[in-house]
Structure 1
Amino acid sequence: ILARITMRLSILSFAACAACMTHAWQPTATVQSSAFVQARGGVADNAAAPSSSTALRMGIGSGARRIRDSIFSKERSREDLKIGIAGFYDRSSKLWEEVWGEHMHHGYYIPEDRTDHVQAQIDLIDEVLKWSGVEDATSVVDVGCGIGGSSRHIASKFNCKAQGITLSPYQANRGNELAKEQGLAGQTSFQVADALDMPFEDNSFDLVWSLESGEHMPDKTQFINELFRVAAPGGRIIIVTWCHRDLEADETELTKKEKRLLAKINRAYYLPRWCSVKDYVDILEEKGMQDIRREDWSYIIAPFWKAVIKSSLNFKSVFGLVKSGFSTQRGAYAMFLMLRGFNKGLIKFGLITC
C-alpha cells in the first residue's frame, strides 16, 4: 500500500512540476489555448482564461493520464523499438549520469546495507567477471555499452582494448568524450550499431560482454547468434540481463497478471517480450555452446531500485525529469513497477556465461 501511495505521489509531483513550469512560461493573456476551447465546447477566444489553480489541476491530470495511457498501450514493432530505445537513452542518459555517474546498471549489494551505490556498480562488474572465471582479456566488445562505464573499467582492469556499441548517438559520443577525459581513448571506442547485426568480423573478441542490454533484444536467438559469431574460439560470453521467472513444470506461460505488469514496463523502457534464463540456456545449448553456467542474482541487487527511487525524489532529479521529457518521466514511473516485479519474484536478475 505504501509503495502504491508513493508511486501516485511521485507521478503527481512529476506532472505538477511540468504543469507549473509550463504555466510559468505562458504569457498572461486572456486568449485561451485551442485545447481548452475545445474542452469547453468551443468557447469564444475572448473568454476568461482559466485560473492558475485550474490550469495546474488540468496540467497534473493530463500529465498523469498521458503517463498512464502510454504505459497501457500495445506492444511495439521491432523498428519502433529500435527508434524508441535510441531516443529514450538520448534523452535520459545525461540525467542518469548527473545523478548516478557513468555506470548505467545495477549494483552489487553484499552486504545489503551498503550505501556507496557507485562503488556497488563497479563491484558488480568485478564480481560478474570473477563469477564467470575471467581473469584476463585482450579484446572486449561491450554490447549495449551505455556511456561506456563497463568498457572503460574492463579496459583499465585488464589493460586491454574494448569497443562498445549502442543505439544511442548521445551515448556513443559521451562514451568517447569520457574515454578521452580518462586517458583511455587509445584503448576504448564507442559507436552506434545494432547488436543484432554488429559491424565486426567473425572471431574478433575473447570477451563478449552484455550487461543489462539483452532485455532490449526483440530476437533473442539472433542476439545469441551475433554474440557467438564475434566471439573468438575459446573466448568467453557473459550475459547479465533482466528475465522473467522460469516457468514451473505444469506451466506453459506466465499468468495474465504477470504479463500485464511486464507489458507496462515494456512500454516505459522500450522492451520486447521477456524470456526466462532457461530460455537463454536452451538457445545456447542448441548452438552447441560449452561450459554453460547460470545464476540468479536477484537477491544481490535487491536494494538497487529502492536507492534509484529515493534518488529520483530530490529536487535536482525531479527538475531534471521535467527537462528530460515525457519518455524519461514515464521511465521514472516504471521504476516502481520494476520494484514490484522483483518483490513478487516475477523479475529475475539473470547471469549466463559460456
Structure 2
Amino acid sequence: MEVQRATALSVAEGLGDKVSFQVADAIKQPFADGQFDLVWPMESSVHVHDKRKFVSELVRVASPGGTIIIVSFFHRNLDSSKESLQTSEKEHVDKIGELSFSKWCSAAVLIKLLQSHSVEDIKTADWTPHVALFATALVQSSSRPRVGPKTAKGANLTPLLVEGYEMGLIKYAIITCRKPQQN
C-alpha cells in the first residue's frame, strides 16, 4: 500500500519518471552490488533482527564513495562498564518491541558494525529532542474519536516511547558514513 501511495505522490509531483519504489527484504536486498550512491534506510534498523546482515547489505549495495544514512529509534548507548541495559530498562524496551515487532539496539552497535566494514567518516547525531516533541503530539492526537486501527496501535506504543525519552532510554539518532572508494 505504501508503494502505491509513494508512486502516486511522486507522479503528482512530476517525479514519476525519476523515482521508483518497491518492497524488499532488508537483509537480502534484490539489488546489485554497488548500485546506489545513497542508501537511506528510514526507521528500518529497529525492525531487523539480524543487525550484522542488515549493515552488511547496506554497505554491499552502496557504490564506492556512496553515502549511507541510517535514521532510526535506538535504546541509549551503554556505559563502557556495562554489558547490557538495566533490568527495568530492558523490560521497557521489550514492551516497545512487542508492540512494534522490533529488535532494539543502541546506535553504538550499528556504528561498530559499520566500522567492521571499514566505512569512512562515520558521524552520528542525537535527534531525540525533536522527535520526542512529535511523539507527545501523536499521543494527544491519537485520543481523538476518528482514530483508525493503525493509529490506535501507535497510541499504545507512543506513550512507552515518550516515557522512554523522558527516562533517557529511548533515542532517535542519525548515523552517516561513506563507503570507501575502490583502490
TM-score scaled by structure 2? 0.91
Partner of 1:12: none
* AA partner of residue 247 (structure 1): L
State the distance in 2 between where 1:310 and 1:332 align.
9
Aligned equivalents of 1:329, 1:301: Cα separation in 2 = 19
Higher strand share: 2
> What SS is found at the alignment partner of 2:49?
coil
Number of matched pairs: 177
1:343 equivalenced with 2:166 (yes/no): yes
The amino acid that maps onto 1:296 is D
Deviates more, 1:252-261 or 1:183-192: 183-192
Please report the RMSD computed on the Cα atoms of aligned residues, expressed in angstroms: 1.4
Of residues 4, 11, 17, the one that matches 1:186 is 17
Q: Structure 1 regions of 5+ residues with no counterpart? A: 1-169
Matched residue SS, 1:201: coil
Normalised TM-score (structure 1): 0.48
The alpha-carbon deviation at position 250 of structure 1 amounts to 2.1
- Residue correspondence of structure 1 range 299-310 to structure 2 within 5 A: 299-310=129-140
Letter in 2 for 1:350: A
Q: Which has the higher contact order (CA 8 A, sep 6+)?
A: 2
Considering only CA atoms, is the larger Rg found in Structure 1 or Structure 2?
1
Instruction: Give identity over the alignment, percent.
Output: 40
Q: CA shift at 1:208, angstroms?
A: 0.8
Cα shift at 1:300 = 2.8
Determine which structure has the larger helix proportion and give its number: 1
Q: What is the Cα deviation at residue 311 of structure 1?
A: 1.4
Select 2:90's aligned residue among 237, 255, 259. 259
**Quick one: which amino acid aligns to residue 28 of structure 2?**
D
Distance of 1:308 and 1:284 partners within structure 2: 32
1:170-227 deviation per Cα after TM superposition (whole angstroms, max 9, x unaligned)? 1122222222222221111111211111111111111111221111111111111111
1:1-354 alignment to 2 at 5 Å?
Answer: 170-272=1-103, 274-317=104-147, 320-321=148-149, 329-354=152-177
- In structure 2, the gaps of 5 or more residues are 178-183
